[in-house]
Structure 1
């Protein structure tokens, strides 16, 4: 496929992803109140467990509306995950043989649970992050959390965990598409571990080792698991190619 066709395909997939997120955001609009209450619970608990005043502050006239829009979009990305993960696979799939395209369900069957697992793990980390960060408030002081900054913080945390857990499946897809061989992933394992450690330090909102380990350790394990799965698929494909070449000769 020529470069122009690739770019056109990429544009079309992005449009489809945007439509899916918009539909998910529409559903998220009606889920705003229970979701925001759930996100606010750790803040309320932090205020109850300390002498400091900790509360979410809506500073501007339109901040509450803007907050609801952002939460809706955030939920739209999460709810539409199966759709945009499929679009990602569909963009890679043209590089696969017709017999390999049947792995679509396998890709989605692995990517969706991993994304959900990442979101679930972020949900476990989130209260701890709030407790640690608000714990720096001096005794008798007040901590007015800006609503906009809180939403940015939350989106960054949840999406970082979700997308990080999906990346190993993308590795397998690229290997099966013949873009990157498994031995290339394996040769770069030291760089991968270092990048994962840096990413865990940057993407997790708290500086403690435990929170970074929540993201880093599973990612390292999934990285090597992806290499193993990629290698199995390549061996099967190489054996088939060798057999076809032998029959052709």
Structure 2
């Protein structure tokens, strides 16, 4: 009944008993699960377009390199579990703002009014940074898979038999890694609020910070390819420079009074907003280019890369030359067959000369008697 009943008033000073804290935690966990289930039910009916969106980067990479591939399942129930996994991920993305609200509602009573002031800005700022990271991660997927598939093209007659669950898990890991990496300003501001960092310290050691961020990018990237590492390290370095201004805005003044960094917060918030808009525009432009068979990793003969006009002209001239030579060869063959079919005149045989009787008498043998003698 606490899920749908009257909202319980929580003391602002956070003075609650342990049982009340556990009851509040249970209520918010149940609400979060309800939001997640509703999101899964909604996205379950949109599995095909969602799967095409996830599968699109690998499909384009295979088509571009001319490598054939197909999705495989090890057992008959794997397709059902794949659909549940896609629905869970999409439902979690839809319910994320509500989940953040429930988390903030549980943590808020434990904070003092002074501590809540920066959190009011960080909560929506963190969501905006996470969305910008997710969009950047999805935009990096085509580059990463293009680099990986390029090695398949070096193997003669190579064919990819991709496991659907492993591909989904790898893609989600890359996207989530970018979403978490983009929370760097929130982490740095938290360290500054507890007195570990200052803006002057961040400026003095920015070179060391860039090296550390590059190493962290190499660790966070699940695919271990250099393209994704670079694409993660560069935005993180930019976010570090952005965090210097953010930390300086929330630092107390020399007289101990707090700043009111409304203009600074607005300007800082524009950076992830602009990044998210640019990534969204790039993704829309990329998806506007159709592929031969969306949602399938099986390029056909017509899905080969486009040929330049110069090559097309050369191919047409070569085709015409081959056709002419074929016609000349066919004419020569026909003439040869016609000449072979015509019978040639056979010369008549000359009769052998007959022997004429000799006019001279046969010579008489000396041993034979003549006239009966």
- Measured against the shorter chain, the TM-score band is 0.7 to 0.9
Tell me the number of residue pairs that the alignment of Structure 1 and Structure 2 aligns: 236
Identify which range, 222-231 or 145-154, moves more after superposition.
Answer: 222-231
Shift of the alpha carbon at 1:106? 2.0
- Residue 140 of structure 1: SS of its match in structure 2? coil
- The C-alpha deviation readout for 1:39-58, integer Å capped at 9, x for no partner, is 22233323323343222222
Q: Mark the CA change 1:237 to 1:20 in structure 2 (over 3 Å): closer, same or farther.
A: farther
- Residue 71 of structure 2: SS of its match in structure 1? strand
Indicate the residue corresponding to 2:225 in structure 1.
207
Partner of residue 145 from structure 2, selected from 114, 117, 130:
130
Indicate the residue corresponding to 1:148 in structure 2.
165
Decide whether the 8 Å contact of 2:69 with 2:160 is kept in 1: yes
Q: Distance in 1 between matches of 2:22 and 2:177?
A: 28
Identify which range, 218-227 or 141-150, moves more after superposition.
Answer: 218-227
Q: Distance in 2 between matches of 1:16 and 1:27?
A: 17
- Structure 2 counterparts to residues 96-107 of structure 1, below 5 A: 96-107=111-122
- Structure 2 counterparts to residues 80-99 of structure 1, below 5 A: 80-90=95-105, 93-94=108-109, 96-99=111-114
Q: Distance in 1 between matches of 2:197 and 2:163?
A: 45
Say whether 1:66 aligns with 2:81: yes
Shift of the alpha carbon at 1:115? 1.2
Decide whether the 8 Å contact of 1:43 with 1:130 is kept in 2: yes
Give the structure with higher Rg (CA).
2
Q: Distance in 2 between matches of 1:101 and 1:127?
A: 40
RMSD: 3.4
Decide whether the 8 Å contact of 1:32 with 1:72 is kept in 2: yes
Q: Distance in 1 between matches of 2:192 and 2:105?
A: 15
Decide whether the 8 Å contact of 1:53 with 1:143 is kept in 2: yes
Indicate the residue corresponding to 2:283 in structure 1.
none
Say whether 1:111 aligns with 2:109: no
Indicate the residue corresponding to 1:24 in structure 2.
39
- Name structure 2 gaps, 5 residues minimum: 1-13, 259-373
- Name structure 1 gaps, 5 residues minimum: 242-249
Q: Distance in 2 between matches of 1:81 and 1:120?
A: 15
Decide whether the 8 Å contact of 1:156 with 1:203 is kept in 2: no
Partner of residue 225 from structure 1, selected from 242, 249, 253:
242
Q: Mark the CA change 1:129 to 1:200 in structure 2 (over 3 Å): closer, same or farther.
A: same
- Residue 252 of structure 2: SS of its match in structure 1? helix
- The C-alpha deviation readout for 1:28-77, integer Å capped at 9, x for no partner, is 22232101012222333233233432222222111111111111111123
Partner of residue 78 from structure 1, selected from 93, 115, 118:
93
Partner of residue 38 from structure 1, selected from 50, 53, 57:
53
- Residue 76 of structure 2: SS of its match in structure 1? coil
Q: Distance in 1 between matches of 2:107 and 2:207?
A: 26
- Residue 240 of structure 1: SS of its match in structure 2? coil
